[in-house]
Amino acid sequence: MPVSAAPPRKRRKEARPSELTAAALELFVEKGFAATRLEDIAVRAGVSKGTLYLYFDSKEALFKAVIQEGLVPALAEAESLAAGHAGSAFELLQALIEGWWRLVGETRYSGIPKLMIAESRNFPEVAQFYYENVVQRGRALFAAALQRGMDSGEFRRRDVATCIDVIIAPVLMLIVWRHSLAHCLLVQQEPRTYLAMHLDLLRQGLLGDATGSP
Amino acid sequence: MPVSAAPPRKRRKEARPSELTAAALELFVEKGFAATRLEDIAVRAGVSKGTLYLYFDSKEALFKAVIQEGLVPALAEAESLAAGHAGSAFELLQALIEGWWRLVGETRYSGIPKLMIAESRNFPEVAQFYYENVVQRGRALFAAALQRGMDSGEFRRRDVATCIDVIIAPVLMLIVWRHSLAHCLLVQQEPRTYLAMHLDLLRQGLLGDATGSP
DNA sequence: TACGTTAATGACTCACTGGTCATTAACGTA
DNA sequence: TACGTTAATGACCAGTGAGTCATTAACGTA
């Protein structure tokens, strides 16, 4: 009887890839691409390093898979959410921010923006993909809401593209913050309070005279 | 006569450290800590790797020096700028954001927030330093402006701590964006336009009834 | 000019990790 | 139960890069 027997192997071809990308996401977000060891990813996924190479050609291929799977589903859901919305433009904006928090902020995928910020310049192709398939689609979602509000006179007229980025920044910063400095500080700000404040300021900032003075 | 003579050495004990931290800052911001080679830093600073070790004990020590020198002087300048300001609270806010852009956004130090976002969790001690000596001091600057505006009735009453973070987020995001995704896209947004939009939305969001309805 | 001090160098070491592959064993099937 | 397929393993290899140190040469001084 061996003192410490190796745990019995399991053959789970179907489940491995997603378990590996899940483990990789966590570690890439925490440490960054270069500082993450494949060995650690494998261990976290409950396999050996060799197994990882059955499913991914290289460390970089694994990284690409993590980004490609990451936010695209959440975005699709957000798009259908927006399509089925019936309230005012501001309520839609509110729903989008709320949805962003529920679909991304509270999930493990909230780490992806931090990861892309850190690694964009090391992986321009991945950055390109992320820009086209996440950033632009996310912007379009907010842009539609803004445009609708301006056309109906609910919002003041402003440059939509610029306006979007200003509106999204606090929402993005919130999750980036929680995955970076906040992790070392135990000074957890309450996310809902923060988002409510953002919407409160926004309500006054967007609503108004409707004259569209530039 | 040697075909390719090594360039003559120069003895410049005083200048080396700052040249090394400058080179290190650029490369750490671009690639991250782990993916940056000390050899590359040395070459960019015009010295050999051995020389680097005359001035810094280790790669991590160099990193700490980069962060510690980085934003502290700019912050001191911003503090004196705020102390000498005489206009309305909103004008002070405007001046702070303008100053932030001039003193940080347009300099090489604008990369530091991106760097800290990427590396905080790998260097909790450095994160702690950064939080206490940069984040908190920066917040205090904005907090004073906000508090003044609320006390005088210029701004609506809101929770100052939360409000600050919402206000700072777009300003921070602007420079983070420029050091990450924007670098791969050539889709350069005009920073001044963006900041003007932020202030425009803010003016409406902060100013108002002064009744302080929560 | 000759000499001593020390800034600067770059070849070297060694630990580490991405990637490989021969071997092992889990599981379905006959 | 016996056997074949293939998922899984982990020892191994090779390239890389942080950190060292004996040697070199710049510069101030006598």
For A139, the token pair is 């912007």
Residue A186's pLDDT band, with cuts at 50, 70 and 90, is confident
Number of helices (H) and strands (E) in chain A: give both, helices first: 11, 0
C-alpha neighbours within 13 Å on the C-beta side of residue B90: 15
Q: Are A145 and A89 in contact, with CB atoms under 8 Å apart? A: yes
Rounded to whole angstroms, the Cα distance separating A116 from A68 reads: 11
For B133, the token pair is 């000596």
**pLDDT of A146 strictly over 80:** yes
| Contact yes or no for A116 and B185 at CB 8 A | no
Q: Which nucleotide is nearest to A50 (CA to C1')?
A: D9
Cβ-proximal residues to A91 (8 Å cutoff; 6+ apart), any chain: A85
| Contact yes or no for B203 and A208 at CB 8 A | no
**pLDDT of A2 strictly over 60:** no
Looking at residue B206, what is its pLDDT? 55
Question: Looking at per-residue confidence, does B208 or A189 come out higher?
Answer: A189
Cβ-proximal residues to B61 (8 Å cutoff; 6+ apart), any chain: none
**A16-65 falls under which CATH superfamily?**
Homeodomain-like (1.10.10.60)
**To which H or E segment does residue B42 belong?**
helix B38-44
Looking at residue B211, what is its pLDDT? 40
Residue A197's pLDDT band, with cuts at 50, 70 and 90, is very high
Domain boundaries, chain A: 16-65, 71-206
Is CATH 1.10.10.60 the classification given to domain B16-66? yes
**pLDDT of A102 strictly over 70:** yes
Looking at residue A167, what is its pLDDT? 96
User: Which residue on chain A is closest to B167 by alpha carbon?
Assistant: A170
Low-confidence stretches of chain B (pLDDT beneath 50): 1-4, 208-214
Looking at residue A172, what is its pLDDT? 97
Q: What percent of chain A has pLDDT over 90?
A: 84
Rounded to whole angstroms, the Cα distance separating B67 from A122 reads: 21
Looking at residue A211, what is its pLDDT? 41
Looking at residue B5, what is its pLDDT? 58
Chain A residues whose beta carbon lies within 8 Å of the beta carbon of residue B59? none
C-alpha neighbours within 13 Å on the C-beta side of residue B75: 19
Q: Are A32 and B34 in contact, with CB atoms under 8 Å apart? A: yes
The bases of strand C with some atom under 7 A from any protein CB are: 6-11, 16-22, 25-27
CA-angle at B88, arms to B82 and B94, nearest 5°: 60
Out of A127, A204, A207, closest to residue B181 by CB: A127
Looking at residue A182, what is its pLDDT? 94
CATH class of the A71-206 domain in this structure: mainly alpha
Question: Looking at per-residue confidence, does A7 or A147 come out higher?
Answer: A147
Looking at residue A207, what is its pLDDT? 56
Looking at residue A3, what is its pLDDT? 41
Residue A204's pLDDT band, with cuts at 50, 70 and 90, is confident
